[in-house]
Amino acid sequence: MMTSLVLTIIGPDKPGLVGLLSRTIADHQGNWLESGMSRLGGKFAGILITQVPTAEADALIAALEALSTQGLKVTAERSEETPALESLQPMTLELVGHDKPGIVREISQALAARHINVERLSTELTSGSMSAEELFKAEAELLAPADLDPDELQQALEAIAGDLMVDITLR
């Protein structure tokens, strides 16, 4: 029997951290499944899911927590298998506009009000090509209820986009 663990990782960025994590997981017969890792604000930050034989799960968690002596803070959560999400429609949202506080808050509130789940979110600040102003870019993979009216969602997002002065594309 296998146990799935969702790991969050943060520590000072330096070479070898992914190797350290992967060795620790492999030493406990774990399998690295999915991950997303980045350098953010001078820190190495990531999230990953691994499967490990149930008999090894506690030992792996202890070994991951022991990585704190090397400056790496790892938090492990056991993941229960969730039933397949049927009758959901996938969507992609792309946003670009001048950076200002509240963009993610406004969009996420509109999505949550419509019971839309954010499956993946990626954001970045980039320099505008015509000006020195920073542009905020976001891309989100969404799962929406099958009975969601896409036109109503589009109208709601367009109203928010107008207020925030950003461009939003929904596919």
- pLDDT (0 to 100) of residue 82: 57
Query: Which pLDDT tens digits describe the chain residue by residue (171 residues)?
Result: 999 999 999 999 999 999 999 999 999 999 999 999 999 999 999 999 999 999 999 999 999 999 999 999 999 999 876 545 567 899 999 999 988 888 999 999 999 999 999 999 999 988 876 767 788 999 999 999 999 998 899 899 989 888 888 888 888
- pLDDT (0 to 100) of residue 140: 94
> What range does the domain containing 135 cover?
88-170
**Is residue 93 located within the same domain as residue 73?**
no
- In angstroms, the CA 93 to CA 119 distance is 11
Q: What is the pTM of this model?
A: 0.74
Domain endpoint, select from 62, 79, 96: 79
User: How many other CB atoms are there within 10 angstroms of residue 82's CB atom?
Assistant: 6
| Number of domains into which the chain is organized | 2
Domain endpoint, select from 54, 79, 104: 79
**Is residue 31 located within the same domain as residue 48?**
yes
**Is residue 63 located within the same domain as residue 112?**
no
- In angstroms, the CA 141 to CA 131 distance is 29
Q: Which of 48, 56, 45, 54 is nearest to 76 (CA)?
A: 48
